[in-house]
């Protein structure tokens, strides 16, 4: 026993000393994204499961959420189900999920031909059905609920991964943490996490060794319930894929866009992340899962999808494009066609996509308004089909730091065959190559202009579709040019009790930071931290004094000097916050919070718990918040979809938009006592959540306690 104890102590010491990442976000967030993923840029999402049997939802909804709507309040799905399947339950449909036409080698060849560098297959969606032989699923559900024991009677993940690994494509998987109607989840979430989720996740990692592990269905419980930090520490330190695995940010309520791996917006083409790796996903239509209700005109065109890829890559992201196979295991021909056409484009222009990084200027605008929010395909409206008076992104830039090559991608071929690049000055002997024809082009430098600076005018060849075989967008390579300084970082630090911050700046070693206040004429060179006395906007850039690289893009950051908000008098305050609940029709946004509410009352917390239907609703919360002491307080609105928070009628947090879980914050200097608080929130469909928190200076962030809310 003594020797055994010594051995255990030695084993523990060795393992602890070898551990790179600790089970906390501070440590886990330091893990870099594997290089292969940063270079890949384009992946294919695959939503496939029992929901592929009905393969139906109303247009604008997710077909993979079929069961959720069927067993709750979606009358359209219920009517469809009754007409097609009679009294059969959703679980009975697993018998019809036969995948008898599934040929994994054909799928793998298609993926490689598309130019995608990785796939993400739904190993299990929110219905709990697993695409691999898993006994946990059978045990917790109480009946066969995996693809080996019912339906296809085969290991779908194993078969596809084997085929994909014969190609150059990386194999990855999606995994839903929660399951809508799992009995164990509904009765004991913590037990469900430890006895169902953890064994499944470890089985997937150990047996299939995916290179992407893309979690979802996390929002109904905090990361502590899922034990996400502990799992990620194991994944990064001990698992067989510890050096190559890519994970995302969906590991519990409040985690998304804050912690974990890559950030994952979905159907959010304008969302951007300055200093974090990210990947936007979307379907070719609106749904991820196959939806028979969608027509050809509901699918994005090939040009739109290629421009979406270009746009993501130019802004530093990846593009995860979804396909939805049917219950037989066939990928719909329209989806195959889109993938093959994207692949044809990448065969010619791929070097402008793969292995590139965000350049200092991601794109070049034309003249016009830049705030388009109308109807139509956003990618086309922002490039080749603008509404009158609106600007377009006429040029996209990507950059390969290894070869010091700048790529210029333009979706519209100029009628006059002249492409103008604004604010660029090239060395005299620079070569510019047209990737479609592999020919070097003539160019000239325009003179210095007060408004535009130096421009480059490139002479393009006559448009000949027999030679220019990539009609959706065109790419040029500017050789040995583009190295640039990174943007400086500006930090405003408020000392306890201080309303005026001290400003510090940092940038790449060897650069100097030049800045101005409120676009005033005088320019300053940063040396040491300095205070400010009024709210101001700082404009700053970094530049190498020896000229070895281009100066950085401009950073524009508002720095606030706060004013104390005096407390208000409240007569006979009552506990709780008043709310109005709305069930709008048509397009739902913050403007839908109007008219006669469907319900009203008093709530203990600012959340969506008082909703009367699963989705497509809105709230207005109004009342008072009691502040226990003078100080600067940070308020957080974490919502799916949009939200706004006001204190004493001033906007503090703007988290508006049709988006997944996003948290935004703002500060207010509040005197002790009562202050007015108002929160607006809407859900436009799909998942929804609302959490409002606050944090005093030097204190702990927490959901606003019921004890502080009054009306």
Residue 200 lies in a domain: yes
pLDDT per residue as tens digits for the range 626-676: 999 999 999 999 998 899 999 999 999 999 988 877 889 999 999 999 999
DSSP alpha helix (H) spans, 54-179: 66-70, 75-85, 104-113, 135-141, 156-164
Residue 98 to residue 369: CA distance in whole angstroms:
52
Number of domain units in the chain: 4
The residues pairing with 624 across neighbouring beta strands, listed in sequence order, are 676, 710
How far apart are the C-alpha atoms of 4 and 340, rounded to whole Å? 60
Domain assignment of residue 54, yes or no: yes
- Give residue-wise pLDDT tens across range 440-489: 999 999 866 545 568 999 999 999 999 998 889 999 999 999 999 999 99
Task: Indicate if the alpha-carbon torsion angle 207, 208, 211, 214 is positive or negative.
Answer: negative
Residue 261 CA from chain centroid, whole number: 11
Residue 124 pLDDT more than 90? Answer: yes
Separation CA 541–CA 129 (nearest Å): 52
Q: What is the dihedral of CA 421, 425, 427, 430, to 10 degrees?
A: -10
Reading the block at residue 660, the tokens are: 């997944």
> CB neighbours of 664 closer than 8 A, spacing ≥ 6?
636, 637, 653, 654, 655
Answer yes or no: do 226 and 114 share one domain.
Answer: yes
**pLDDT score of 11:** 40
The confidence band for 66, taking pLDDT boundaries of 50, 70 and 90, is very high
Give a yes or no: residue 409 inside a domain: yes
Mean pLDDT of 701-710: 95
Q: What is the pLDDT of residue 447?
A: 66
Label residue 275 by pLDDT band (50, 70, 90): confident
The answer as to whether 25 is a domain residue is no
Contact in structure between 650 and 641 (CB atoms under 8 Å): no
Domain end, chosen from 478, 511, 529, is at: 478
Give the percent of the chain with pLDDT over 90: 86
Mean pLDDT of 71-79: 94
Q: What pLDDT does 17 receive?
A: 39
DSSP line for 215-278: EE--TTS-HHHHTHHHHHHHHHHTSTTTTT-EEBS-SSTTTTTTSSSBB--BS-TT---SSS-E
Helix, coil or strand: residue 213: strand
pLDDT higher than 50, residue 415: yes
* 585 within domain boundaries: yes
- Mean pLDDT in the chain? 93
- Please tell me whether residues 394 and 518 are part of one structural domain: no
Residues in the chain: 711
Give one DSSP letter per residue of 453-498, joined into a string: -SEEEEEPPP--TTT---TT-EEEEETT---BPPPPEEEEE--TT-
Domain boundary among 319, 348, 377: 348
Tens of pLDDT, residues 223-238: 999 999 999 999 999 9
Q: What is the dihedral of CA 515, 516, 518, 519, to 10 degrees?
A: -100
Rg of the chain in Å (alpha carbons): 27
Specify the pLDDT at position 452: 52
Which domain CATH number covers 410? 2.60.40.1180
Asked if residue 566 belongs to a domain, the reply is no
Segment among 475-479, 547-551, 555-559, 693-697 with least mean pLDDT? 547-551
pLDDT at 530: 96
pLDDT given for residue 611 in this prediction: 94
- Span 53-65, average pLDDT: 96
The pLDDT of residue 9 is above 70: no
Q: Domain with 627 in it: what CATH number? A: 3.90.182.10
Backbone angles phi, psi at 204, to 5 degrees: -65, -45
Average pLDDT over every residue of 167-186:
98
52: phi then psi, degrees, rounded to nearest 5: -75, -15
Same domain, 80 and 155: yes
pLDDT at residue 240, as a whole number: 98
Q: For residues 245 and 237, give the distance between their C-alpha atoms in angstroms, rounded to a whole number.
A: 11
Predicted pLDDT at 640: 87
Token readout for 16 is 């602890």
Digit-coded pLDDT (tens) for 577-615: 999 999 998 889 999 898 999 999 999 999 999 999 888
Is pLDDT of 8 > 80? Answer: no
Checking phi first, is residue 375 left (phi over 0); if not, alpha (psi -120 to 50) or beta? Answer: beta
Candidates 335, 447, 315; CA nearest to 379 is 315
CATH number for 509: 2.60.40.10
380 and 496: one domain?
A: no
Query: Which domain does 611 fall in, by range?
Result: 577-710
Could you tell me which residues come within 8 angstroms of residue 84 by beta carbon, excluding any fewer than 6 positions away?
Answer: 54
Residue 280 sits in the same domain as residue 410: no
Rounded to 5 degrees, what are φ and ψ at 337? -60, -45
Is residue 315 domain-shared with residue 249, that is, in the same domain? yes
Which pLDDT value is given to residue 574? 96
Residues 119 and 46: beta-carbon distance below 8 Å: yes
Tokens of 192: 């469900």
Q: In sequence order, what E strands does 567-609 have?
A: 577-582, 599-603
Q: Are residues 546 and 594 in the same domain?
A: no
pLDDT band, residue 12 (cuts 50/70/90):
very low
The strand pairing partners of 248, in sequence order, are 262
Whether residue 68 has pLDDT greater than 80: yes
In 3-state terms, what secondary structure has residue 615?
A: coil
Statement to judge: residues 311 and 194 lie in one domain: yes
Instruction: CATH number of the domain at 306, please.
Output: 3.20.20.80
301 and 265 inside one domain: yes
According to the model, what pLDDT value does residue 609 have?
92
> Band of the pLDDT at 704, cuts 50, 70, 90?
very high
Q: For residue 15, what pLDDT band results from cuts at 50, 70 and 90? A: very low
Per the CB < 8 A criterion, the answer to whether 423 and 382 are in contact is no
Residue-level pLDDT at 16: 39
601 belongs to a structural domain = yes
In sequence order, the 6+-apart residues with CB closer than 8 A to the CB of 677 are 577, 621, 622, 623, 624, 625, 645, 646, 647, 709
Give yes or no: residues 344 and 369 share one domain: no
What is the C-alpha to C-alpha distance for residues 680 and 37, in angstroms, rounded to an integer?
38
Angle at 74 between CA 70 and CA 77, to 5 degrees: 60
Confidence band, pLDDT 50/70/90 cuts, at residue 219: confident
126 and 254 both lie in a single domain: yes
Q: Which of 292, 317, 348 is the last residue of a domain?
A: 348
Both 456 and 494 in one domain: the answer is: no
Report if residue 24 sits inside a domain: no
Task: Report how far residue 559's alpha carbon sits from residue 505's, in angstroms, rounded to the nearest whole number.
Answer: 13
């Amino acid at each position: 026993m003594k020797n055994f104890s010594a051995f255990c102590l030695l084993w523990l010491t060795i393992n602890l000393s070898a551990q790179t990442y600790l089970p906390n976000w501070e440590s886990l967030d330091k893990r870099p994204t594997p290089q292969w993923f940063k270079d890949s840029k384009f992946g294919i999402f695959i939503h496939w499961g029992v929901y592929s049997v009905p393969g139906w939802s109303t247009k604008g909804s997710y077909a993979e959420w079929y069961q959720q709507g069927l067993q709750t309040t979606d009358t359209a799905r219920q009517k469809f189900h009754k007409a097609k399947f009679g009294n059969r339950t959703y679980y009975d449909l697993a018998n019809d999920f036969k995948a008898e036409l599934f040929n994994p080698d054909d799928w793998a060849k298609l993926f490689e031909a598309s130019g995608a560098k990785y796939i993400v297959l739904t190993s299990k969606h929110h219905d709990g059905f697993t695409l691999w032989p898993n006994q946990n699923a059978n045990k917790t559900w109480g009946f066969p609920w995996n693809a080996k024991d019912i339906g296809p009677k085969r290991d779908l993940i194993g078969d596809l991964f084997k085929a994909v690994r014969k190609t150059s494509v990386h194999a990855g998987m999606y995994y839903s943490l929660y399951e809508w109607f799992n009995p164990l989840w509904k009765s004991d979430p913590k037990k469900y996490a430890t006895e169902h989720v953890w064994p499944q996740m470890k089985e997937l990692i150990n047996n299939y060794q995916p290179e992407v592990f893309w979690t979802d269905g996390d929002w109904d419980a905090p990361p502590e319930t899922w034990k996400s930090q502990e799992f990620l520490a194991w994944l990064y330190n001990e698992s067989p894929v510890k050096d190559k695995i890519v994970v995302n940010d969906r590991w519990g309520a409040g985690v998304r866009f804050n912690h974990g791996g890559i950030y994952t917006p979905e159907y959010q083409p304008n969302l951007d992340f300055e200093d974090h790796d990210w990947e936007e996903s979307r379907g070719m239509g609106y749904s991820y899962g196959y939806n028979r209700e969608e027509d050809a005109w509901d699918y994005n065109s090939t040009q739109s999808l290629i421009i979406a890829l270009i746009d993501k890559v130019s802004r530093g992201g990846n593009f995860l494009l979804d396909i939805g196979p049917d219950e037989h295991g066939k990928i719909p021909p329209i989806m195959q066609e889109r993938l093959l056409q994207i692949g044809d484009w990448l065969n010619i222009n791929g070097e402008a996509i793969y292995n590139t990084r965000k350049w200092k200027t991601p794109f070049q605008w034309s003249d016009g308004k830049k705030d388009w929010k109308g109807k139509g395909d956003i990618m086309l409206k922002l490039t080749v089909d603008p509404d009158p008076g609106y600007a377009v992104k006429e040029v996209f830039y990507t950059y390969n730091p290894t070869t010091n090559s700048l790529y210029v991608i333009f979706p519209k071929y100029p009628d006059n065959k002249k492409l103008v690049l604004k604010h660029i000055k090239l060395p005299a002997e620079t070569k510019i190559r047209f990737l479609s024809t592999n020919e070097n082009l003539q160019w000239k430098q325009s003179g210095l202009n007060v408004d535009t600076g130096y421009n480059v005018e490139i002479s393009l060849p006559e448009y000949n579709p027999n030679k220019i075989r990539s009609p959706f967008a065109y790419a040029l390579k500017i050789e040995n040019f583009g190295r640039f300084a990174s943007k400086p970082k500006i930090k405003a630090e408020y000392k306890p009790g201080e309303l005026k911050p001290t400003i510090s700046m940092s940038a790449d070693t060897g650069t100097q930071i030049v800045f101005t206040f409120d676009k005033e004429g005088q320019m300053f060179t940063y040396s040491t931290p300095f205070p400010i006395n009024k709210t101001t906007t700082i404009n700053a850039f970094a530049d190498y004094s020896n000229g070895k690289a281009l100066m950085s893009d401009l950073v524009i950051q508002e720095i606030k000097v706060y004013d104390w908000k005096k407390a208000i008098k409240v007569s006979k305050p009552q506990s709780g916050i008043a709310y109005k609940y709305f069930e709008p029709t048509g397009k739902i946004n913050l403007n839908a919070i109007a008219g006669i509410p469907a319900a009203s009352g008093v709530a203990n917390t600012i959340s969506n718990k008082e909703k009367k239907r699963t989705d497509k609703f809105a709230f207005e919360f109004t009342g008072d918040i009691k502040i226990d002491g003078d100080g600067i307080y940070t308020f957080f609105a974490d919502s799916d979809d949009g939200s706004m928070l006001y204190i004493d009628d001033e906007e503090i947090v703007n988290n508006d938009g049709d988006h997944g879980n996003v948290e935004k914050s703002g500060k207010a200097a509040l005197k002790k006592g009562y202050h007015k608080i108002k929160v607006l929130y809407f859900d436009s469909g799909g998942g929804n959540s609302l959490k409002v928190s606050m944090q005093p200076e030097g204190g702990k962030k927490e959901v606003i306690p019921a004890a502080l809310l009054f009306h």
